[in-house]
Amino acid sequence: MVYSVIGTGGVGGYFGGCLARAGREVHFLLHKDYDFVRRHGLQVNSWKGDFHLDRVNAYDNSAAMPRSDVVIVALKSVNNPLLRELLPPLLKPGTLVLIIENGIGVEAQVQAMFPQALLAAGLAYAGSSKTRPGVIDHQDLGKLTVAPYTPGAALRAAEVVRDFVEAGIPADSAEYLEARWKKQVWNMPFNGMTVALNTSTAALIAHPATAALIRAQMLEVIAAAQALGVKNIDESYADRMLETTAGMTPYAPSMKVDHDLGRPMEIGSIYTEALRQAREAGCPMLRLEMLEAELRFIENQSSMPGNRPRPRIGNPHRA
Amino acid sequence: MVYSVIGTGGVGGYFGGCLARAGREVHFLLHKDYDFVRRHGLQVNSWKGDFHLDRVNAYDNSAAMPRSDVVIVALKSVNNPLLRELLPPLLKPGTLVLIIENGIGVEAQVQAMFPQALLAAGLAYAGSSKTRPGVIDHQDLGKLTVAPYTPGAALRAAEVVRDFVEAGIPADSAEYLEARWKKQVWNMPFNGMTVALNTSTAALIAHPATAALIRAQMLEVIAAAQALGVKNIDESYADRMLETTAGMTPYAPSMKVDHDLGRPMEIGSIYTEALRQAREAGCPMLRLEMLEAELRFIENQSSMPGNRPRPRIGNPHRA
């Protein structure tokens, strides 16, 4: 199988890098790092063991890339409109587009552009970011869940899971809605709250007021998911997520990293669309609606230079 | 009538100062400013006209003050425990204790200390703060509503209203619960949100996301007030408050000033007790509970030096 990766950052670089190391044919689309990676290769610093790819199939233009069996899309969801131009050269009949992004509604968004494409969601449970040109810093976890979205994507999705497992990445399949909403249970509280309060997941859990708030927000997501037909989820999932988080090496959620680095936040996919669906299902998430409003305000203030104290770069607890 | 003022800050200094200018006998308890005011008097800079009191009945110790017909308590509610010592020397049969503070439950708190005292709530609609020793800066509005709390306080409260009106201060009487909760409609959203987002009332209203959030928070207060038996309040009150705020000279709510100056915030009286009563009445204010949690977190972070960027002092929009 021929793999392509659109978006070679913390997520695309780590998962694509593992596949390449395992001998798979992987083609990487790069942007700012193209020259560096073409010359120096890709370095992956992982808690599971560092490795370096000397020769990388690197491109700065998707038109030059081969049609692929699997296209891993690991962009920030705010950049999905770019797929209209980036994706067509890579597609052939049967190509699986595996969308490893945060939030709700990203598959529907890509389907609207490419109604014929086979789509699957990829849920990355990994603390991984690109810290310097050509260097991926993989700090924690590393699991991938693949959830077929389009009817007919299941077979190819299973092959992908098998390839990932062979490449040393814990991977499994799951039902689409359940997979996407379970990830939201963690993403909706922690991504926004670390930005709103300019803090870390560990500090939020350490204070009783915010710990209770985070749990109440998780229960809002769980109630909405249930209203939207997600099975196999109940209140106990919130407690499991809180325990997992307490046991993690503290790291900044992606939205906190984005905000600290002055990049746009994924408010639309992590909040807006999820909140809309929940409200439509008669189960509005009031606290998370409030958090979205705070984030929209912060986003707007940050766009006015000098109007807000510059937050710390990165996470003070990062090892 | 003999008046005493406990807490000669923006509120106590302005209202007490107006009474003294009008020829009333007013005794002021001062703390840090005692020496300055005894020597230089009290300066009131008001948008309604500046004035200076050359001779001020200033005290640094309430034991030296005369028993009074009216004691104006204009402390920060967090300092109410001090009343246990400050108040007894001023009380005589029939003394009205007029509590001009923010929030819910402050009269009950004082009543628990002095079960026999006649109590009334004072609702200050005024932008006023002490900017330097002995200098009160009165920037906007200036109305006082007096709401009898104890049965039997109504007559004395009416006399106080008359004295205030004669001193040039717009004043009226109102029903207790209604008066306290109407003020909460403004206080609960704006005090906390300006701290949580480190911003001004004007900026919150200017952004559609926070404007809608502020209005939703106001509706939470109105619904709780209705559940607690407050009459003469409905959704239209929120819109009137928003219009009034849009027309005000932008100024920082008291909690924002307190936080910026490193003083404790009045979270207990403005949030905790009000939220408890609303929940007990079966009408929890979910968004404002979330705001309280954010404020508790911020308060805790601020108490750890270097842990949070020092906010701007005061309000950037202040004239």
Whether the CB of A197 is below 8 Å from some CB of chain B: the reply is: yes
Whether the CB of B66 is below 8 Å from some CB of chain A: the reply is: no
B311 falls in which pLDDT band (50, 70, 90)? very low
Dmax of chain B from CA atoms?
Answer: 54
Q: Amino acid identity, residue A226?
A: Q
Rounded to two decimals, the pTM is 0.91
Most B CBs within 10 Å, among A193, A272, A290, A313, to test the B interface: A290
Tokens of A170: 């814990």
Tokens of B304: 């750890």
Nearest C-alpha neighbor of A61 from the set A94, A101, A92, A27: A27
pLDDT of residue A250: 75
Whether the CB of A313 is below 8 Å from some CB of chain B: the reply is: no
Whether the CB of A57 is below 8 Å from some CB of chain B: the reply is: no
Region class of B253: left (phi > 0), else alpha (psi between -120 and 50), else beta: beta
B209 interaction partners in chain A (CB closer than 8 Å): 292-293, 296-297
Nearest C-alpha neighbor of B26 from the set B226, B141, B160: B160
B212 interaction partners in chain A (CB closer than 8 Å): 293
Most A CBs within 10 Å, among B204, B290, B303, B307, to test the A interface: B290
Instruction: Name the DSSP letter for residue B154.
Output: H
A216 interaction partners in chain B (CB closer than 8 Å): 290
B216 interaction partners in chain A (CB closer than 8 Å): 290
Task: For B178-196, write each residue's pLDDT tens digit.
Answer: 999 999 999 999 999 999 9
Annotation says A183 is catalytic: yes
pLDDT of residue A313: 35
Of A168-172, B131-135, B153-157, the least confident: B131-135
Consecutive H or E run containing A222: helix A208-227
Burial environment of residue B93 by CB neighbours within 10 A (0 to 12, 13 to 18, 19 or more): exposed
Coil, helix or strand at residue B257: helix
Whether the CB of A220 is below 8 Å from some CB of chain B: the reply is: no
- In this predicted model, which residue has the larger pLDDT, A220 or B139? A220
Class of the domain covering B178-302 = mainly alpha
Q: Where are the alpha helices (DSSP H) in A142-251?
A: 154-166, 176-196, 201-206, 208-227, 236-247
Q: Does pLDDT of B271 surpass 50?
A: yes
Between CA A271 and CA A288 the distance in angstroms is: 8
Task: For A251-282, write each residue's pLDDT tens digit.
Answer: 789 999 999 999 999 999 999 999 999 999 99
Nearest C-alpha neighbor of B195 from the set B301, B285, B307: B301
Strand pairing report for A118-132 and A135-148: antiparallel
Tell me, rounded to whole angstroms, the distance of Cα A2 from its chain centroid. Answer: 22
Between CA B268 and CA A20 the distance in angstroms is: 58
pLDDT of residue A216: 98
Q: Where are the alpha helices (DSSP H) in A60-105?
A: 83-86
B311 interaction partners in chain A (CB closer than 8 Å): 309
Of A196, A198, A210, the CB nearest to B308: A198
Determine contact, residues A180/A147, Cβ cutoff 8 Å: yes
Average pLDDT score, chain B: 93
Q: Does pLDDT of B308 surpass 50?
A: no
Whether the CB of B259 is below 8 Å from some CB of chain A: the reply is: no
Q: Does pLDDT of B146 surpass 90?
A: yes
Give me the total of CB pairs closer than 8 Å, taking one residue from chain A and one from chain B: 74
Q: Where are the domains of chain A?
A: 2-174, 178-302
Residue of B nearest to A220 (CA): B286
User: A2-174 maps to which CATH number?
Assistant: 3.40.50.720
Tokens of A77: 């969801």
- Name the minimum distance, in Å, from the CA of A284 to any CA of chain B: 12
Determine contact, residues A57/A37, Cβ cutoff 8 Å: no
Determine contact, residues B94/B70, Cβ cutoff 8 Å: no
Of A207, A289, A308, the CB nearest to B296: A207
Mean pLDDT to the nearest integer, A156-184: 97
Task: For A115-149, write each residue's pLDDT tens digit.
Answer: 999 999 999 998 898 989 999 999 888 999 999 99
B305 falls in which pLDDT band (50, 70, 90)? low
Complex confidence, ipTM = 0.90
Of A30-34, B249-253, B309-313, the least confident: B309-313
Mean pLDDT to the nearest integer, B282-302: 97
- Catalytic residue (one of B130, B182, B183, B256): B183
Which residues touch A259 (CB under 8 Å, ≥6 apart)? Answer: A195, A265, A298, A302, A311
Instruction: Name the DSSP letter for residue B31.
Output: S
Whether the CB of B286 is below 8 Å from some CB of chain A: the reply is: yes
Most A CBs within 10 Å, among B294, B302, B303, B308, to test the A interface: B294
Please give the angle made by the CA atoms of B106, B107 and B110, to the nearest 5 degrees: 90
CA distances from A82 to A7, A70, A76, A88, A274 (A): 11, 18, 11, 11, 22
Whether the CB of B206 is below 8 Å from some CB of chain A: the reply is: no
Residue of A nearest to B205 (CA): A297
Task: Identify the residue whose tokens are 């690197």.
Answer: A58
What are the strands, taking DSSP E only, across chain B?
A: 2-6, 25-29, 42-46, 51-53, 57-59, 70-73, 96-99, 118-132, 135-148, 171-173
Whether the CB of B198 is below 8 Å from some CB of chain A: the reply is: yes
Residue B103: CB atoms within 10 Å: 22
